[in-house]
Amino acid sequence: MRTRAVAREAWRNIRSGTTRTLTFTIASGAVVVSLLCADQLAIRQIVHDANEFRAAGASTLTLTADGGIDGARCEALNSLDGVTAAGAVRSREPWLRPAALPNSPVNLKEVTQGFPRLLTGESMQGAGIVLEAEAAETLRLKAGDTLETTSGATTVAGTFEYPDDGRRRGFGYTALIVTTDADPFDECWTDVWPAMPNLAAILLTTLRPGASEKETKPVLGQLNSSLGSTFDGQARLDARITRAAAPVSVVVGIVLGLLAVRLRRMELAAALHSGLARRSLATMVGLETASWAVPVLGLCTAVAALFAATGNREDVLSTFVSGLLIPFAALAGICLGTAAALALTREKNLFRYFKDR
């Protein structure tokens, strides 16, 4: 039987409803799309939790040693792989007194060049001070404005949020000013993502000679410990219950493929009995199976693209690929199930199929 004739026969079976195309499209689509959405939502929740962990400052470790931190060594941590920002800070007296509100002084801290990025998320642009958001709002200032103080004028280089979300106190109503002198600092902060197992040991290298021998010992801490000490995103991904979605899709595909052929085994055995070659029969069944499997694959591709487009911009490709894993696993199962059922359909069993119908 020629391929064109086989294709016409398959088309007639699809149009007449013999292949139950609509039923299998709805059934497989409902299951596979549900598994895809469940897995993508689980992954999105983990990514959301990771972003929340970082945004709250929980990924920032601090080393406190009054007058014991070498600012240059702390600043050098920015060159390490995985370190997104690092910098040193020390308190400064007197406080900054705005000319408009001299009785409401702003807490002033001196920092190294990389420190503002720990709070603003961006590298500092230009000279001047970086104001905490509440202070900026009170003084009605924004980046680029000039702050008149009792000791002179300075430019507002940027602002930062320091919410009361569990992070340590001390940076509310504060101004940061960058300094390059070699005087010691009180603290070294570093934000590392993903977590670096030997970060604590690396932080201790920023101590000045003799700092660890003082009566007040250096203290390692976490800027915000309210969300836990660590966030192991890979472990959570590996432990998510929807990780089994792909294997389940394979099983569902096998069952549907077996069922689609088994329901028509008498018809297929009759075709073999009438002289249709098994190769032609396999081609026809393959085209009929594609009539309901391909639309499901197309629908899942659209759903995966939607999740990728509306998720984290840095993970667009990985989100799309992980989303496609489930429908392609289902497609593999459908092919396996269909092939197995077709292989088990024998012409010699035609009369048994007839009696069992």
Residue 114 has pLDDT above 80, yes or no: yes
Q: How confident is the model at residue 122 (pLDDT cuts 50, 70, 90)?
A: confident
Residue 255 has pLDDT above 90, yes or no: yes
Rounded alpha-carbon distances, angstroms, from residue 40 to 53, 120, 147, 298, 320: 20, 30, 48, 17, 10
Show Cβ contacts of residue 60 under 8 Å, excluding neighbours closer than 6 positions.
118, 189, 190, 191, 222, 223, 224
Higher confidence at residue 104 or residue 23?
Answer: 23
The pLDDT tens digits for 10-43 are 999 999 988 899 999 999 999 999 999 999 999 9
* pLDDT value, residue 1: 64
Show Cβ contacts of residue 275 under 8 Å, excluding neighbours closer than 6 positions.
none
**What's the mean pLDDT in 289-308?**
95
* pLDDT value, residue 355: 78
Residue 95 has pLDDT above 70, yes or no: yes
Show Cβ contacts of residue 218 under 8 Å, excluding neighbours closer than 6 positions.
63, 64, 65, 68, 204, 207, 211, 212
**What's the mean pLDDT in 263-285?**
91
* pLDDT value, residue 94: 66
Rounded CA-CA distance 162/176 in Å is 13
pTM for the whole structure: 0.78
Rounded alpha-carbon distances, angstroms, from residue 217 to 64, 68, 84, 210: 9, 10, 27, 11
The DSSP code for 157 is E
Rounded CA-CA distance 241/42 in Å is 9
The pLDDT tens digits for 159-216 are 999 998 889 888 889 999 998 888 999 999 999 988 888 888 899 999 998 776 777 7
* pLDDT value, residue 321: 92
**What's the mean pLDDT in 304-316?**
88
Rounded CA-CA distance 204/25 in Å is 61
Which of 316-320, 330-334, 350-354 shows the lowest per-residue confidence on average (mean pLDDT)?
350-354
Structure tokens at 117: 């990025």
* pLDDT value, residue 327: 95
**What's the mean pLDDT in 120-145?**
86
Vertex 286 angle, CA 285 and 291, to 5°: 95
**What's the mean pLDDT in 216-232?**
87
Rounded CA-CA distance 29/233 in Å is 30
The pLDDT tens digits for 48-73 are 999 899 989 999 999 999 889 999 99
Residue 221 bridge partners (DSSP):
62
Residue 241 has pLDDT above 80, yes or no: yes
* pLDDT value, residue 27: 95
